[in-house]
Structure 1
Amino acid sequence: MGLTSTTALATAVLATVLLSLLVVWQWPRLSGRGWRPVVGRVGLMCAVQLLLFSSVGLAANKTFLFYGSWADLFGRQDGVGVLGAQAAANPGITVDGKQKVDVPGAGKPSIGGEVQRVSVQGQRSRIVTPAYVYLPPEYFQQGYETKSFPVTVVLTGFPGTAENLIKGLHYPKTAWTLSKQKKTQPMILVMMRPTVAPPRNTQCIDIPGGPQTETFFADDLRKAISGTYRVGTKPRNWGFIGDSTGGYCALKIALQHPEAYAAGVGLSADYAPDVDMDSGDLFHGNKHEQNRSDLLWSLDHLPQGNSSFLVTTSHQGESNFRATQKFIAKVKEPARVSSITLASGGHNFNTWLREIPPSLQWLSTHLSAE
């Protein structure tokens, strides 16, 4: 019974209802004085409240997919993270499964495309982490056998799960629809979360003595994908998009690695990492890397490459409005920046669902196929 399953939610709701009826039925028997009736009343009330909160929590998690499994919820992730020599010895992509895209003709990849669940093994970073790869219908069609496709890396926020990008934010369905409408070119999407060494929030930083997350996204991921799929290998063939922490990663990698990514999109992005109990010590006294991780500092003090950025914010509902305006003002040639500013919109899926279609269209105009 998975954390995000309907069965788990239905069981919690049913248990809440049954226990509530039991409390109503038994309340007269527990209305007497003395410590036993008091303890009984308190115990039943606490049990009902616990089940009620569990039902609400399961419903919210099923809707927004903050955690994908019980292991994810309790910070126990088997089979992912930093695996040392294993990843270095077997770099690349392992396909673990395939699934349909929620579009017409989904049963046939040449019509509906395909989503593959994969494991990515990083050679330099020695990180192993799961991902989903969306392949557009054209990837399977005659006439495209020798064609290479542009790639966009798509990240969730923190903690988030990669399933968010499919079930909650509908990236494959949106990419399919936009391409069908001739608003974008066919693109491959590599959908992940930034937490590649869970449960730590590494925020796309190479941590001294710890996970080399920047190296993974800037180098290892591109090599693994290009070694498995028909994709271009030049910067103009690669884009990056993410929300919240994932948006920070997208902007950071595109800004600091123009040799790898031509475009980065930050949806409600942070512009500096959060150092807290989820991240731990990210820099271990390395002041330069700490400064470099601040994107506004980087724009002022480091050379800007030939990269394009799209940032999004809202006049009301977003805390990053002023930082976004500063980022826009600091971008200088040869870099370029565009923006989407909503009148209102919070830090949530509803806002990002409004921003994703124009963001994918923007990426399509800034990436090219081989």
Structure 2
Amino acid sequence: MPDFSLYPDMSLTGTPFLCTLAVLAVVALGLPLLLWTRVRGPRAVRAVTRVTMLLFAQLTAVTLVFTLVNNSNQLYDSWSDLLGTGDHVVHAADLGADGTGGVVLERLPKVRQTFRPAAGPGMRAAGGVRVTRMTGRVSGVKAEVYVWLPPQYDDPAWADHEFPVVELLQGYPGSAKAWFGTLDVHEQLMPLMRDGTIAPFVLVAPRTALVPGADTGCANLPGRVNAESWLGIDVPRMVIDNFRVRSTPRGWSVAGYSAGGHCATRLAVAHPDRFGAAVSLSGYNDPAVERASLTGRDPALRAANDPLRMLREAAAPPRISLYLSGQEKDGYEDAMALGRAARTPTSVQVVKLPRSAGGHTMALWRPQVVPAFRWLTGELGGHRTADGTPTPP
């Protein structure tokens, strides 16, 4: 198979590849119209030639439609993601119950990352998204992380301000770019951050598709992947080392849709010492809902990674806030179950979406971005505006 990484202009989500497919589709449609009656040779040869032209036309049409759908929903970011050949795990040691492997996190030296402008649909809007590729010092994961800074970040009036962070998790399959390229999170929020309606959050979108052809469930699985430590330790520490952000749990939240919503809830319930709030859009509790989930295949892992069961069996109710939205039979019932299981200081807000709002798609989740961030603004609170007044909830 060709190494498409050597031809960045022909990347899966690149414009040149899309244009090439469009041209091929037109050519494939025109060939039978022009050559159908002009094919020469024995009957068998003519039949094979005509069938080949029809198959070529169908193949290019299907490929073009798939590419358009993929670009619109940011399902696969690269050829390796699509073909299941990418593996972002350097090593996956047994890190123990706390996911640190005995490492004293406070003693880890700061690591400065080099960021570059991110490419792709929507990535240059609203001030632009930047990207870096890092290797987790605890998790052993090597992958990219996208970061967007709010408009106040470089404002001299905010020079001493530490900003709250929202870690954004995509569904499965899905690209870390989807929050910016499809949900337009930065474009939706930037004007509201400017006028003080919504607090200025730093947005961080790490890769969650770490192993070929499987959803990690954002869990640590010794010998396979340490996704929980990647998302809960390595990514936050990198952001804290490189940006002017808060380091306390009330300064960090996590949000996701679909499988990413499951991960967001699970991470917050498991680590109230790291995340103070979570947003789940059409998420679920039982990891087996996602057929490709590694944690859903084993009964013990399935039970251990169900946020409802985790909440019920917690030694003490975690000090977290949850915002859970969904439609009937698509997240709503699971959200209500979490709400019934919650005990103070755990707080749960459930939003029921009407069936008319759409199905389990980006079109359903895009309009939920602003309400979710309004809620986060109220929950994390205490964010001053440039003139010193509190940001309104």
| TM-score with structure 1 setting the length | 0.87
Q: 1:115 to 1:150 in 2, by over 3 A?
A: same
Query: Is the aligned partner of 1:296 residue 2:308?
Result: yes
Q: Give aligned-pair identity as a percent.
A: 26
Mean Cα displacement is larger for which, 255-264 or 139-148? 139-148
User: After the TM superposition, which residues 27-42 of structure 1 pair with which residues of structure 2 at under 5 Å, given as runs?
Assistant: 27-29=36-38, 34-42=43-51
1:25 is matched with which residue?
A: 34
Please state how far the C-alpha of 1:132 moved relative to its aligned partner.
Answer: 0.8
1:145 is matched with which residue?
A: 159
Mean Cα displacement is larger for which, 9-18 or 344-353? 9-18
Query: Is the aligned partner of 1:333 residue 2:344?
Result: yes
Equivalent residues of 2:110, 2:241 under 8 A apart: no
Mean Cα displacement is larger for which, 125-134 or 266-275? 266-275
2:150 is matched with which residue?
A: 136
Please state how far the C-alpha of 1:293 moved relative to its aligned partner.
Answer: 0.6
Query: Is the aligned partner of 1:349 residue 2:358?
Result: no
Query: Is the aligned partner of 1:81 residue 2:86?
Result: no
**Runs of 4 or more above 3 Å deviation:** 29-34, 88-93, 99-103, 196-200, 274-280, 282-286
**SS of the residue aligned with 2:327?**
strand
Mean Cα displacement is larger for which, 198-207 or 157-166? 198-207
AA in 2 matched with 1:211: V
Q: Per-residue CA shift, 1:304-337, capped at 9, x if unaligned?
A: 211100011124xx53332232222222221000
Query: Is the aligned partner of 1:305 residue 2:318?
Result: yes
2:334 is matched with which residue?
A: 323
Q: 1:99 to 1:202 in 2, by over 3 A?
A: closer
Please state how far the C-alpha of 1:286 moved relative to its aligned partner.
Answer: 7.8
Q: 1:95 to 1:286 in 2, by over 3 A?
A: farther
Mean Cα displacement is larger for which, 136-145 or 29-38? 29-38
Structure 2: gaps spanning 5 or more residues: 1-9, 94-102, 384-393
User: After the TM superposition, which residues 282-293 of structure 1 pair with which residues of structure 2 at under 5 Å, given as runs?
Assistant: 282=295, 287=300, 289-293=301-305
Equivalent residues of 1:91, 1:120 under 8 A apart: no
1:270 is matched with which residue?
A: 284
Distance 2:297 2:111 in 1: 30
Q: Per-residue CA shift, 1:106-129, capped at 9, x if unaligned?
A: 89xxxx645221223322212222
Equivalent residues of 2:132, 2:144 under 8 A apart: yes
Distance 2:297 2:265 in 1: 23
2:96 is matched with which residue?
A: none
Please state how far the C-alpha of 1:177 moved relative to its aligned partner.
Answer: 1.9
AA in 2 matched with 1:72: D
Q: 1:156 to 1:297 in 2, by over 3 A?
A: same
Q: 1:125 to 1:101 in 2, by over 3 A?
A: closer
AA in 1 matched with 2:304: R
User: After the TM superposition, which residues 168-247 of structure 1 pair with which residues of structure 2 at under 5 Å, given as runs?
Assistant: 168-247=182-261
Q: Of 254, 258, 261, which residue of structure 1 is paired with 2:275? A: 261
2:5 is matched with which residue?
A: none
Q: 1:114 to 1:29 in 2, by over 3 A?
A: closer
Q: 1:134 to 1:180 in 2, by over 3 A?
A: same
Distance 1:369 1:100 in 2: 34
Distance 2:225 2:119 in 1: 33
AA in 1 matched with 2:153: Y
Please state how far the C-alpha of 1:11 moved relative to its aligned partner.
Answer: 1.8
Q: 1:170 to 1:34 in 2, by over 3 A?
A: same
Distance 2:299 2:136 in 1: 24
Q: Of 378, 382, 390, which residue of structure 2 is paired with 1:365? A: 378
AA in 2 matched with 1:163: K
Distance 1:134 1:364 in 2: 17
Query: Is the aligned partner of 1:58 residue 2:83?
Result: no
Please state how far the C-alpha of 1:175 moved relative to its aligned partner.
Answer: 2.4
Q: Per-residue CA shift, 1:271-311, capped at 9, x if unaligned?
A: 1223877445x489682x43121122223222421110001
**SS of the residue aligned with 1:81?**
coil
**SS of the residue aligned with 1:241?**
strand
**SS of the residue aligned with 1:333?**
coil
Cα RMSD after superposing both structures: 3.0
AA in 1 matched with 2:114: V
Equivalent residues of 2:288, 2:302 under 8 A apart: no
Figure out how many residues of one structure are paired with residues of the other and give that number: 357
Q: 1:91 to 1:204 in 2, by over 3 A?
A: farther
Distance 1:32 1:102 in 2: 48
Q: Per-residue CA shift, 1:249-280, capped at 9, x if unaligned?
A: 11000111111101000011121223877445
Please state how far the C-alpha of 1:72 moved relative to its aligned partner.
Answer: 2.4
Please state how far the C-alpha of 1:368 moved relative to its aligned partner.
Answer: 4.5
Higher strand share: 1
Distance 1:24 1:240 in 2: 54
AA in 2 matched with 1:136: P
